[in-house]
Structure 1
Amino acid sequence: MLEELVRLDKELFLFLNNLGTAQWDGFWLFMTNKWSSIPLYLVLAFMTYRAYGLKRLLMALAAIALVVLVTDQTANFFKYGVQRLRPCHDLEISGLMRLVKSSCGGKFGYFSAHAANSFAVALFFSVQLRQKYRYIGWMLAVWALLVAYSRIYIGVHFPLDVLTGMLVGLFYGGLFAKLFSKVVAKYDPI
């Protein structure tokens, strides 16, 4: 059963990865670059400040730093615990795929920390800002999906790596949003 799932995952990866074309490579490299999200983070910080003030913004920044730290460390634990090769290190398929990025990254890739972090941040801010900004959840969901898919497009993660990262990110984003709401209720009630 597990072997069949891995086989299907590799087939789906090759299909999705090979949909790419050189004219779209720049866009997906931009989406996968962790620094390209800084303008979005600044906008989210401004929106939080505008909606709730400086104290809540500082509390939210601390919460985001913690959720990213926890998500990254969980991803590292799984990468070295599971030791699933990244597609670009998998000799069975590496000659059949497009590696858009100049380097493949570490040897192991289960699960995608990029997908986990983007979904954790998206859910956290969606929960925090949804009462003040009507469509924030949808916009952040689209951004998180683009970041997650970029990992398949550029050739560094399998679809199951990305799906697991998305689920882990939603779990941590929801958990930290709930904890944050309790802290806010105690220390910064509106």
Structure 2
Amino acid sequence: MMQELLQFDTELFLKIHRGLSNGFFDWLMPLLRNRFFWSPLYLFIVIFCIKQYKKTGLYIIGGVLLTFALGDMISSRIIKPNVNRTRPCNEIRLADQIIHRVPCGSGKSFPSSHATNHFGIAVFLIGVFYRKWRPILPIGILWAASISFAQIYVGVHYPIDVFCGTLLGTSLGLLTTFIYHKIKPAQ
């Protein structure tokens, strides 16, 4: 059963990584997964929260940071070293099939920390702002999903790595949303 699942994962990875290959995605996907590309958005969130929500804004920023810290710690420091899955771009049996779109890195593959962190942050922000601004739901999910998909396309993660990172990040986003609503100051 596990062998069939891993085979399916590899086949799906190759269908995305090689099968969807095109010049536009080759340009866009490396950008989407680059943390500096999103820096203006992160800065906007910080400024918006402080300017619009004052003290509560600091709690929102704290919630984003807590979500990121928990996601990164659990995915990178606890799960990855214990699962020890090789990234597809470092997998010897896939060496002749990988298109090197970004540096591969030496880290492990399971789960995707990008998926964990971005889905965690998206779910947290959805949980905070959904009642006041409903478009945050599709925007947040699309944002996290596009970054997560880019991880597969550029060749640094398998689909199962991203799927499990999505589940972990969503769970952490729900947890930190719950914590935020319990401790935020009254408005």
Q: TM-score range by the shorter chain?
A: over 0.9
* Cα separation, 1, equivalents of 2:49 and 2:133: 10
AA of the residue aligned to 1:31: L
AA of the residue aligned to 1:60: I
Per the alignment, in what secondary structure is the counterpart of residue 79 of structure 1? helix
Worse-superposed segment, 147-156 or 73-82:
73-82
Residue deviations 1:45-74 (CA, integer Å, cap 9, x gap): 3443455x2111111112211211111111
**Structure 2 stretches of 5 or more lacking a match?**
none
Cα shift at 1:132: 1.7
Partner of 1:23: 24
* Cα separation, 1, equivalents of 2:129 and 2:60: 11
Alignment of 1:70-85 (within 5 A): 70-76=70-76, 77-85=78-86
Cα shift at 1:92: 1.3
* Cα separation, 2, equivalents of 1:5 and 1:189: 48
Per the alignment, in what secondary structure is the counterpart of residue 108 of structure 2? coil
Per the alignment, in what secondary structure is the counterpart of residue 38 of structure 2? helix
Per the alignment, in what secondary structure is the counterpart of residue 157 of structure 2? coil
AA of the residue aligned to 2:69: L
AA of the residue aligned to 2:21: G
Partner of 1:96: 97
* Cα separation, 2, equivalents of 1:137 and 1:43: 18
CA contact (8 A) 1:89 1:107 kept: no
TM-score by length of 1: 0.92
Matched, 1:42 2:47: no
CA contact (8 A) 2:87 2:108 kept: yes
- Matched positions, count: 185
